[in-house]
Copies of this chain bind each other. A is one copy, B any other.
Amino acid sequence: MNSKRTGPPSTAEIEEWVPVTIRDVAKVAGVSTGTVSNVLNRPAIVAETTRQRVLAAVESTGFIRNTQAYQLRGGRSHTVGVVVLDVSNPFFTEMFRGAESCLQSEGYVLMLGSTDGLTEREANFVRAMEEHRVEGVLITPAAADLVGLAGLKTRGVPTVLLDRKAPADEFCSVTVDDVRGGELAARHLFETGHTELVFVNGPTTVRQCRDRRQGVRKAVRSTSKARKVEVTEISVGALTVRHGEEVVDRILAISPRPTGVVCANDLLALGVLRGLATRGVKVPEDLAVVGYDDLIFGSMLSPALTSVRQPAFELGSAAAELLLDEVRNPDHRHREVRFEPELVVRASSSG
């Protein structure tokens, strides 16, 4: 509680900073606003001495160019919107970093929104970003369909879908084959002898969850030809550690007792592992666990978490590249850049 002081504000403090415009700079330098604009944008065409004078004036006045005016005049906004499902999830921050690594060097600053899978929040973010005239948006759609992005499409805002295929090539997209990933996870457990599995899934409104489920089912079908296997599906409200932890009792209540569990992402798996640990259930002896995303943290647990790896950083940077192409290349064609998931087997599933 550090109140600065108790008396009235001093003059220095009460004195409002008056925004300095190009006109102020012009006045100080004794030139016209056009000239100031020229030294700012096309320094080559103005005389050396004038330029120095203007630069000095910029310095002394503390002038900072007003992007809004620049944009209004037809300039670019140098802004890209990024909308993800959950900033708390390292998978998405890695993706963000990937995008940032590519976009920052091009002079863009990123607006970030985290929707928690809520379409209403998504709509708010997208609307706000459109109002700010972002040059493009990278988005992991919250909804099952893409109607929330229709506005972006019709208004021609370059948009790249993150971790979501665009139907009918309406957008560029970067994807990972989640059906395949889900299949890899479940098949791995079947192949190591498991017969009764649980699949802990997130909300099936989330596309990743639907696809991974489909993959799991696919593994069931193909394995069933050889021998009888079964998967119980449990759906939780969100892909978080807490939800994973809370689902453990339901897993343990299943009869016959499953011997393996596939989680729709690593956060969920981490929660499950934690819940199992507190209940004294041994992993992988009593229950094998497989996650999804291959967060670095999973590899450090003991037992280390078996998981399906996705190249998050590369997803982000690839998306950014696609966006840049769409922004700059008049001959741009929408493309899907597809990555393959990779099963990383660790101790949590291999006794």
Contact = CB atoms under 8 A, between A and B. Distances in A.
Given A66-B133, A133-B66, A111 B110 contact: yes
Given A69-B72, A113-B109, A114-B100, A88 B90 contact: yes
Interface stretch (A211-219, A250-258, A285-293, A297-305): A297-305
A121 B109 CA distance: 11
B64 A2 contact: no
A233 to B, nearest CB: 25
Chain A, interface residues (CB within 8 Å), range: 35 or more
Interface stretch (A50-58, A222-230, A331-339): A331-339
Interface in A249-274: 270, 273-274
Contacts of A138: none
Contacts of A4: 169, 333-334
Interface in A61-115: 62, 64-69, 71-72, 77-79, 87-88, 90, 93-94, 96-97, 100, 104, 107, 109-114
Q: How many copies does the complex hold?
A: 2
Contact of A128 (B88, B109, B131): B109
A16 interface: yes
A132 B67 contact: yes
Interface stretch (A25-33, A149-157, A198-206): A149-157
A92 to B, nearest CB: 9
A77 B128 CA distance: 11
Contacts of A114: 97, 100
Among A16, A109, A333: residue with most chain B CB under 10 A: A109
Contacts of A273: 300
A89 to B, nearest CB: 9
Interface in A298-321: 299-302
A3 interface: yes
A185 interface: no
Contacts of A112: 96, 110-112
20 contacts: A2-B335, A2-B336, A62-B151, A62-B154, A68-B68, A68-B72, A72-B72, A79-B132, A88-B94, A88-B97, A109-B129, A111-B112, A112-B112, A241-B296, A270-B296, A270-B297, A273-B300, A297-B297, A301-B302, A302-B302
